[in-house]
Structure 1
Amino acid sequence: MDIYSNSVRDLVLNPEFRKWVLHPNPESDKIWQSYLAKNPTAIQDVELAKELLLELFSNQYPLQESEFGEIWDYIDTETEKEDKRAQQQKIIPINRLSDAKRGNSGSSDVARMMWRVAAILVVTLGVGFLASRMAPTEPVAEQPVPAKFKEYTTPPGVKSSITLGDGTKVLLNSGSSLRYQENFSPERREVFLEGEAFFEVQHDPGRPFTVKTGEVSTTALGTSFNIMAYREEHLLISLVTGKVAIGVPHENRDEIILEPRQSLKIQPGEGDFLKVRFDEDQVMGWTRKMIVFNNTELSEAIRALENWYGVKFHFQNRPRPGMNLSGKFYNETLENVLEGLRYTAGLDFEIKKDKVSITFKHTP
């Protein structure tokens, strides 16, 4: 296949040649080097065409395919007089090619070709465009890299241990999700939680660690704390060690400070909050294979059991109003837990694979 037509013009217009010059790769190098080895008389024209492309048609100012043709068509029809004058007077090549590269006759060819290209760029694209190509280029400001986020989701019946990039350890409870930026910014560390998780935050005074749960943010430096933030349930933030600052929307104060063994309970949608001391087993029990109900609302207890064991509860009748559950179970099967609740809650149950049917003995 004839890839060269014995013309600098044809080389510059050849897309494969431009691709080789501007984006070289081993395959194209092999093709063109093989051709030059067989056609040594083409070397001078190939080198000239390469320098023209590298000088005037670099990737910094890419030209469309049609623009190459328009430039050379205009050269052939509109710059004949300039070409004749160039042969009669000394021309200084704009790409500063020295006569020593190709000898005196080569210098004349270079001057004519550069004059043609410079003339057409001035006429068709404007002096400013040509000046911008010839002037030293300013460093291009680096574009910010879009933030990449990771998300972990634990299905019912599964808990997950996660170590973040800064060394912070997270234990994610069943039926929960944690979303965070893959590489924390130099100014702050921020994660988004839905469900429940226990955090052991890596100490870094220059980058506060913030957990976002809806509109509420919990910020710490080097701290361990638990957050329970399931949908349509109260938000419970419990501090084990260190100190946290909690931003609550619609409050006059900027933040609420918790001390160790304190919890902040926030009602959903209302913004009302209560600061209390907490029982460690009740708050941290899930991290130790322990289920603790302490006068826990029925809906919250059922959600906890569904997430813990990966099952779905179905009620055959309605419980009495205001029914709460109490009990402590360590590493027990679902059947044993329900047996323990049978008498205290007054219920019967039937387990079929991942479905649990509940019938309350005392209906309203």
Structure 2
Amino acid sequence: MNFNLYSAEDFAANESFIAYYLQTDSEAVTFWQNWISLHPEKLDEIYKAELLLAKLHLQLSDMELNSAFKKFDDFIDGKKAEPIAKPRFAKKIFSYSRIAIAASLLIICSATIYLFNKTTYKEDTLTYYNGYGKTAIIVLEDGTKISLNSNSSLKYPKHFGKLKREVSLIGEGFFEVAKDKKRPFTVKTAQLQTTVLGTKFNVSAYKNVKQVTVALVEGSVAVELANKKQQTILKPNQMAWLSDASNQIETTSFDAKKITAWQTGTIIFENASFEDIAIKLYNAYGLSIINKTGNSDWKYSGNFTKTDYLSIIKNICFAKRINYEINNKTITLKP
């Protein structure tokens, strides 16, 4: 069976995957944990399938099940179906086949489609979190397009006000801001905030990375300290960061292709230390890497595009002449 061709719906209707999700079959759990670790490109579909099964972790009465079947029939016949009533949650799932049938029914309903969008609502503010091993594209109401890197979250209003446009970022994102001279667009991070009218730039502000960077590809941006004590205007191909030594904004030139390579699923290491490698692989795949080689002086270079993490680890170990040991998402490097 070729699971590489599976969509979220297929995973959610597969009895072995359901057993893995519910942790009721040790063989299924072991199989799917290994399979998922070797196929990070399917993490998006796996996540959606788990969202669907979370929705289906309920007990449907016969009336509710019959109602779902009727809505499915109406959908096939081209009739407009009424919204599905909110289900009653139960502590146990009694039948795998029952879940599979319900999954097939709910997949075509708007409630399930809503679940596939991992956006949480609180008043007029939305937060989108992007998990490990993938990127996402978000288009805001003003037409601004944002590419969001893995392990990153974007907080933004459902509707912008008349005077300004503000979003908050944790992680990394590439912004293509729609032009609006009357409403400046501001990206806020813990240390820096970037304000523009319409341009293209990359912001990297991961929690586990000390240095926050803003790299301008096109247009002009104003980069300001969070405490508003210093502001710098960037020109294209200039990058700003906050210096630990001076606590001031510093600037330099940069290679746009390398800075934005993550949008195409590319990970680049250039004379990287072990710490740099560990942080990048954690943010990309959720991996924890432990160095027990006895060597802390690393200078590793490599370029990987749409590559699973196991292949990257093998390449690093081959280059460094070391071995590795895997335990779930923890990888220990050994002599």
Output the TM-score relative to the length of structure 1. Answer: 0.54
What are the residue-to-residue correspondences of 1:10-89 with 2, within 5 Å? none
CA distance in 1, matches of 2:332, 2:253: 36
CA distance in 1, matches of 2:228, 2:184: 22
Work out whether residues 213 and 239 of structure 2, in 8 Å CA contact, stay in contact via their aligned partners in 1.
yes
What are the residue-to-residue correspondences of 1:119-158 with 2, within 5 Å? 148-158=124-134
How many corresponding residue pairs? Answer: 213
Q: Which residue of 1 aligns with 2:193?
A: 217
Distance 1:301 1:241, change over 3 A: same
Work out whether residues 243 and 258 of structure 1, in 8 Å CA contact, stay in contact via their aligned partners in 2.
yes
Work out whether residues 312 and 354 of structure 1, in 8 Å CA contact, stay in contact via their aligned partners in 2.
yes
Which amino acid is 1:240 matched to? V
Q: Which residue of 1 aligns with 2:143?
A: 167
Work out whether residues 192 and 212 of structure 2, in 8 Å CA contact, stay in contact via their aligned partners in 1.
no
Work out whether residues 233 and 300 of structure 1, in 8 Å CA contact, stay in contact via their aligned partners in 2.
no
Which amino acid is 2:312 matched to? V
Tell me the SS of whatever aligns to 2:260: helix
CA distance in 1, matches of 2:135, 2:178: 21
Which amino acid is 1:280 matched to? A
Give identity over the alignment, percent.
31
Which region of structure 1 is more displaced relative to structure 2, 263-272 or 300-309? 263-272
Q: Which residue of 1 aligns with 2:71?
A: none
Match status 1:355 vs 2:314: no
The CA deviation at 1:304 is 1.6
CA distance in 1, matches of 2:202, 2:128: 17
Q: Which residue of 1 aligns with 2:214?
A: 237
Q: Which residue of 2 aligns with 1:312?
A: 288
Q: Which residue of 1 aligns with 2:304?
A: 329
Work out whether residues 232 and 249 of structure 2, in 8 Å CA contact, stay in contact via their aligned partners in 1.
no
CA distance in 2, matches of 1:161, 1:252: 33
Q: Which residue of 1 aligns with 2:223?
A: 246
**Structure 2: gaps of 5 or more residues:** 1-121
CA distance in 2, matches of 1:220, 1:340: 41
Work out whether residues 233 and 267 of structure 1, in 8 Å CA contact, stay in contact via their aligned partners in 2.
no
Task: Report which structure shows greater RCO (CA 8 Å, sep ≥6).
Answer: 2
Which amino acid is 2:221 matched to? V
Q: Which residue of 2 aligns with 1:296?
A: 272
Q: Deviations over 1:251-292 (max 9, x none)?
A: 864x21111111112246962333111122321110011111
CA distance in 2, matches of 1:274, 1:348: 39
The CA deviation at 1:354 is 2.9
Distance 1:320 1:233, change over 3 A: same
Output the TM-score relative to the length of structure 2. Answer: 0.58
CA distance in 1, matches of 2:330, 2:185: 40
Moved >6 Å (runs of 4+): none
